Amino acid sequence: MCGFVGMISKTDVSGEIHLALQAIQHRGQDSAGIATMSADGRQFFLRHGLGTVAQGLLQKDLDILKGPGGVGHVRYPTIGQGTLEDAQPFFYRQPGVLMAHNGNVTNYRELQDSLASRSIHLLSHCDVEPALCEFADALMAARPANHTLEDAIDALRKIHQRVKGSYSVVTTLMLDGIPTLIVLRDPNGIRPAIVGQRHDGAWLATSESVALDVLDFEHSFTPNQGEAVFLRAGQAPIRRQLESGCSAPCIFEHIYFARPDSIIDGKTVYEQRMGFGRALGERIRAKGIVADVVV
């Protein structure tokens, strides 16, 4: 369980990403990080810290994190250690990509060996890094620079083909010469993602709707399983269905992970938990059991 935020705007985003991460702090307290990209895509800024958002990312860090596009992350480790080396987001120099995710990649070792055979070596034990390397390697195989949206679609298909497990990914890079935020869900839609838009043309993608609320974003849509969404400030979203398996969202989002006031499938998590309790209570009653409390 982790939490991510991705934002694309016309102004610097680090301060707002910092605030949005605090709204999903319950999803991970081991480390926090924010990475941003300049408007021309030539500069990237990255800061990580151990502990909570308030502990790991200070005002002096936000002052350095310039740019109208970026991603943020709060981490609860599912693989690797709780060290700074494993803290997200991650950056890949060629062609210049930032990435964070929530999920659990099950073929990490296989990906590590495959990348090593291409002389691409991992610097961490975090399972988003091989996904980032696969994406960047596919982009560079398409062309050395000036990557297009179609290049990215082909590269994202490589992620679906090679990366196994559960994942929702946000990534920031230049496509068609425009700062672009990408949201990608695994073919079964196991891990959550929601997208929101604000009146000033900014877009936000995050693990839970509560991160949208604190920044006055309207809830726009939930990406489908196996879908890639391309977001650019002031423009309509570009949605591409890359692959689709059987929808299998994680039930623990409803009963444990998500904040009670988050909205999933049109209802608050609190309402759904109360509904589960009522349904369980009816089953217990049907068995003739007299109970004081149902949890």
The residues annotated with a catalytic role in the active site are 2
Question: What residue type is 99 in one-letter code?
Answer: M
Q: Judge contact between 207 and 24, C-beta under 8 A.
A: yes
Query: What HEC string does 146-211 produce?
Result: CCCHHHHHHHHHHHHHHCCEEEEEEEEEEECCEEEEEEEECCCCCCCCEEEECCCCCEEEECCCHH
State the greatest distance between any 2 C-alpha atoms of the chain, in Å, as a whole number.
69
Task: Report d(CA 77, CA 259) in Å as an integer.
Answer: 19
Helix or strand or coil: residue 11? coil
Q: Judge contact between 146 and 193, C-beta under 8 A.
A: no
Dihedral angle of Cα 167, 225, 170, 192, to the nearest 10 degrees: -70
End-to-end CA distance of the chain: 22
